[in-house]
Chain A
C-alpha cells in the first residue's frame, strides 16, 4: 500500500465513504448472509429476552397468577438498590467467594499447565488426560461426589486427616467442611479445582506458544527457572491470563450450581452460600417474584459490565500483545 492509498483508506474511515462497487456490494450482501444466523439468534435469543427482562423488571409479575401482572414503574429497582439488604449481602458473599476461588483456580490451572509443559515430566499425555478428565464430569455429579468426600462422618479427607495427624476430624466434633461458615468457601473452591481442565488446556497452549529461543537466550544469560517464568513465560501469556480472568470473574458472579445442589439454595451455613445468583433464583423461581428477579438480573448485568470494562481498562498496563504497535 502506498502512502497515498493509506491516506485514502484513513480518509474513508474517518470521513465520507466512497460508494461501494457492485462487487463490493455483492460481497457485503454475502457477508451479511453468512452472518445472519448469528445475528438472528442474537436478536431472538438474547436481545429480545433482554428487552423483555427489562420490561418485566417494571412489573409485579408472579407466574402462578399471570393475570394479576401490573406495571409498578421502578419500584423493584428502588427495592433492590435501597431497601433489600440481602442484595448487597449476597453480592458481598459472591465477591468474597470469588476472591478466594478465582486466584486459587487460575494459579492451580497455570501451575498444572507449566508442570505438564516441563521436559522432566514422564507420561505427560497421560497426566494431561487425567487432569482434564474431571472437567468432563457433569458439575452436579462433581458436587455430589465432593459432598461425599467432604462428609464430616464418612468422608475420606477427614479420615485421612485424622489418621495422619491425630486431630479429631471425623464425627460430630470433626471438620465440617460444608457446614462451618469459616470453611465452606474453601470447600467450594476445592470443587472448582476439579474443573480446571479447560483452563489448564488453554494455559498449556499459551505456554507452548512461547518462543523457545527466548528461553534459550535466557539460559545462556544464566537466568534461573523462576527468572524465566516471571520474565518470559508470564509476560508472554498475559493475554491468555487476561482472557481467563475475565471469564473467571463473570463465572464467579454467576456462581450458582454447587450451593443449589448441596442445600437447595437455603444459604446454609448461616446464609454464607446465598450468593447473588442463588438469591436471584430464589426470588424468581422459588418465590415467584419474577419482576423483582428480572431487576436483580439487570443489576448483576450492570455490575458485571462495570467490572469487565474496568478489567479492560487495566489491560493496557499489564497485558502484553506481541503484535500490538505501541
Chain B
C-alpha cells in the first residue's frame, strides 16, 4: 500500500510539474502579457469576400507584431492594404495576422517551431530580425529571378540588410532616425531658449552667450529645466530632489545600447568577434545618465518611474512634465503627442565633437519555413511598391526608404497627423546623416540572453544610488564574456 502511495505521489508530482513546464505555462504567460497590455492577441476581421478566383489560390500569411503595426489604430488601414492586394491578385490570397507586440515574439517562435511559419513578417526592425537569427530566407535568388529593381534605394541601405553568412534578409522599407523633441510650453515658461534647430548651431543661453550643443550643455540646460515642488531648478542649492515635479531630459524607451549610442556608436563585441567590451563612449553615456539620475537629478530615475505626474500613453515626455526627449520618428505620432502641449524637433547634441543619431530601420522578411517563397516575395514586392508603401509608412509613422518617395513625404505626414503645427522636419531628415554604425540593435552572441543581462544591469543602476558604476560596468563585461563564451562553445 505504501509503495502504491509513493507511486501515485510521484505521478501526481510529475503531472503537476510537467503541466507547469509545458505549453500551459506559455499560455499562462501569454494570458498575463495580454492582461498587462490590455490587449488580447488581435484577430483581425476576415477580409470582405472577394470574387472567387479560378484555379489554385495560394494563401500567404502576413505576420505583423514584431515592430510597428500592432496598435489598434493601425488595423483598419493595414486590412485595407490586404483587401487591395486580394482584389488585384487571383492566384494569391493574403491573410493578415496581427499579434500584440507583447506576445508576438513567442507566437512567431512557436509557429516556426511547429512548422506553421507565416510567409511574410513585418515590419520588423533589426532587433526583431536578430531575435530570429538564422530563421530568415535569403532574398537574393528571388531578387535575381524576378529582376526586382533596387535602383530606387540607397545602396548602403540595401547593404544594411545583407548579413554575412545569411544573405540579403530584407529590402529597405522604412527608417526612423532619432533626434530631440522638446516641450515648447515648458521652455517658454522657464524663459529658456529652444535647443538648436539645426546641426552645427550652438545653443544660445537666455543672456545671449553661446555654447557648443554638446552633452555638457544638454546637462546644464536639463538641470535648469528640472524643477521641484517649490519652483527651484536643479542648478539651485535649495533644490529638493525628493519632490521633483518636472524633469529636464530623458532618453526615452531605449536600452543601455541605445543610451550608450547617444554618445557614440559601438558594440559589445570587439573586432575579433569573440571578446566582450564596453565601448568608452557607452561608459561615458552610462555614467552621465547615472549622475543624471542620482546627483544632478535631471533624468527620472527608477523610483520616479512610477510617479503619477510622468504617466502617459506617450511615456514621460507625453505627460507634459519632461522638457526634452531623445527618440525616433515613430514617436512623432498623435498616439504619443496628443496635442496637450506644443512641441518641436531639435538637433541631437554632440559628444567629443561627434553627433550620433541612432537609427531604427524596418523591413519585411520571409521566414525560411515558408512553403511559398515566390508568392511571399510577390506580396513583399507589393508592400514595398511606390504605390502601396506610402500607405503603410503613414500608418507606421516611418520615413520612406525609397528615394523617390522621400521628397515631400514628411510634409504630407505632418499635415495629416499634426495639422496646423509648424514642425522642424528638416532636422529630422538631417539626422539620417548621423546614423549609428554599428547599429545599436545589431546582432550579438546569445542575443536575447545578452539583452536580458544588460537590462538587469541597467535596472539595478536606475534604482540604486551610490554605486561604484565602474565596478558594475566591469561586472557586466565579465558576465557578457561568460555568455559569449557559452555561445561560441555551443556554436563553434
Contacts and interface: CB of A to CB of B under 8 A. Distances in A.
Interface of A: 42, 46, 49-50, 53, 60, 62-68, 72, 75, 79, 83, 138, 140-141, 144, 151-154, 171-173, 176, 179, 246, 250, 253-254, 256-257, 260-261, 264, 266-271, 277, 280-282, 285-290, 294, 297, 300-301, 304-305, 308-309, 312
Contacts of A261: 32, 35-36
A64 B132 contact: yes
Contacts of A308: 9-10, 13
Interface stretch (B14-22, B314-322, B405-413, B415-423): B14-22
Interface string B363-388: 00000110000000000000000000
Nearest to A315: B5
Contacts of A140: 31-32, 35-36
Contacts of A75: 490
Contact of A63 (B10, B31, B109, B456): B109
Contacts of A154: 308
Contacts of B32: 140, 257, 260-261
B14 A301 contact: yes
Contact of B302 (A53, A67, A179, A256): A179
Interface in B30-58: 31-33, 35-36
B490 A60 contact: yes
B110 A250 contact: no
A77 to B, nearest CB: 14
Given A64-B113, A285-B106, A297 B18 contact: yes
A270 B5 CA distance: 42
B135 A64 contact: yes
Interface string B297-316: 00001111011100000000
Contacts of A260: 29, 32
Given A46-B14, A66-B115, A305-B13, A277 B20 contact: yes
A130 B419 CA distance: 54
A325 B117 CA distance: 61
11 contacts: A65-B368, A141-B35, A254-B16, A254-B17, A254-B20, A260-B32, A282-B449, A285-B29, A287-B448, A290-B113, A301-B18
B486 interface: yes
B367 to A, nearest CB: 9
Given A289-B449, A312-B5, 13 more contacts: A49-B22, A63-B110, A63-B113, A65-B134, A151-B306, A153-B308, A173-B303, A250-B17, A266-B459, A268-B463, A277-B25, A301-B14, A309-B10
B404 interface: no
B452 A286 contact: yes
A48 to B, nearest CB: 10
B18 A49 contact: yes
A297 B25 CA distance: 12
B308 A173 contact: no
B351 to A, nearest CB: 28
B133 interface: yes
Contacts of B133: 64-65
B40 to A, nearest CB: 13
A282 B450 CA distance: 12
Nearest to B36: A261
Among the interface residues A53, A267, A287, which one has the most CB atoms of the partner chain B within 10 A?
A: A287
B35 A269 contact: no
Contacts of A64: 108-109, 112-113, 131-135
B341 interface: no
Contacts of A72: 490
Contacts of B115: 66
B5 A281 contact: no
Interface string B453-465: 0011001100110
Contacts of B132: 64-65
Q: Which 5 A-B pairs have the closest CB atoms?
A: A63-B113, A297-B21, A172-B303, A65-B134, A254-B20
B456 A301 contact: no
Contacts of A138: 35
B242 A172 contact: yes
A297 B22 CA distance: 9
Contacts, number: 155
Given A46-B15, A171-B243, A144 B463 contact: no
B217 interface: no
Given A64-B132, A172-B242, A304 B452 contact: no
B134 A46 contact: no
A288 B113 CA distance: 10
B446 interface: yes
A173 B303 CA distance: 8
A266 B33 CA distance: 14
A179 to B, nearest CB: 6
Contacts of A287: 446, 448-449, 452
A289 B106 CA distance: 12
Interface in B104-163: 105-106, 108-110, 112-113, 115, 131-135
A173 B368 CA distance: 52
A65 B36 CA distance: 29
B100 to A, nearest CB: 14
B242 A171 contact: yes
B26 interface: yes
Nearest to B310: A153
B16 A280 contact: no
Contact of B112 (A50, A66, A179): A66
Contacts of A63: 109-110, 112-113
A25 to B, nearest CB: 22
Contact of B456 (A141, A173, A267): A267
Contacts of B242: 171-173
Nearest to B448: A287
A315 to B, nearest CB: 10
Contacts of B304: 172
B452 A266 contact: yes
A49 B24 CA distance: 12
A171 B229 CA distance: 13
Nearest to B28: A257
Contacts of A277: 20, 25
Contacts of B448: 286-288
A102 B202 CA distance: 62
A81 B308 CA distance: 45
A67 B367 CA distance: 12
Contact of B16 (A42, A250, A286, A294): A250
| Most-contacted residue by chain B among A49, A65, A246, A264 (CB, 10 A) | A65
Of residues A141, A256, A286, A294, which shows the largest number of chain B Cβ atoms within 10 Å of its Cβ?
A286
Contacts of A68: 134
A257 B29 CA distance: 7
B455 A266 contact: yes
Nearest to B459: A268
Contacts of B301: 172
A314 to B, nearest CB: 13
A266 B31 CA distance: 18
